[in-house]
């Protein structure tokens, strides 16, 4: 049991070290973006791409990073299974929503007008 606890502590401390390196590199990229404002755009793109690849590799070596990557892959797979509506269906549905909203708004406007009339009539009777 003691051996499992030691392995878990080493694993967690190594995970924390990896995430610390990731955040330090991210802050370094932000700092470099401000410091090297006048540098040619091509060099900045190459520099940031290199650091982004390094950060991504370190992140994928962590448990949370692997889990996030798997979630992203599964999400992409699920998005491919979506059946998107045709242009005709979208236009028909939009028209139905606009008509229904207009009818409901006219009904509510009528009810509001009746209630305002009734309230003003009742308040005038009291005086």
DSSP string of 26-44?
Answer: HHHHHHHHHHTTTS-HHHH
The last residue of one of the domains, among 45, 64, 82, is 82
Domain that holds residue 100: 83-127
Tell if the pTM clears 0.85, that is, is over it: no
User: Do residue 109 and residue 59 come from a single domain?
Assistant: no
User: Do residue 90 and residue 29 come from a single domain?
Assistant: no
User: Do residue 19 and residue 76 come from a single domain?
Assistant: yes
pLDDT tens figures, 116-127: 999 988 888 764
User: Do residue 77 and residue 96 come from a single domain?
Assistant: no
pLDDT tens figures, 51-82: 889 988 988 888 888 998 999 999 999 999 99
The total number of structural domains in the chain stands at 2
User: Do residue 92 and residue 57 come from a single domain?
Assistant: no
Distance, in Å, from the CA atom of 63 to the CA atom of 72, rounded to the nearest integer, reads: 14
- Look-up of token digits 């755009």: 41
């Amino acid at each position: 049991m003691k051996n499992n606890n030691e392995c878990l502590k080493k694993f967690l401390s190594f995970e924390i070290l990896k995430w610390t390196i990731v955040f330090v590199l991210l802050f370094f990229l932000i700092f470099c973006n401000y410091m090297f404002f006048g540098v040619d755009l091509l060099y900045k793109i190459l520099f940031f791409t290199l650091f982004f690849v390094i950060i991504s590799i370190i992140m994928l070596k962590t448990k949370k990073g692997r889990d996030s990557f798997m979630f992203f892959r599964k999400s992409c797979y699920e998005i491919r299974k979506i059946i998107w509506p045709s242009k005709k269906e979208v236009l028909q549905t939009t028209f139905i929503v606009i008509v229904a909203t207009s009818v409901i708004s006219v009904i509510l406007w009528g009810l509001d007008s009746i209630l305002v009339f009734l309230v003003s009539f009742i308040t005038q009777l009291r005086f």
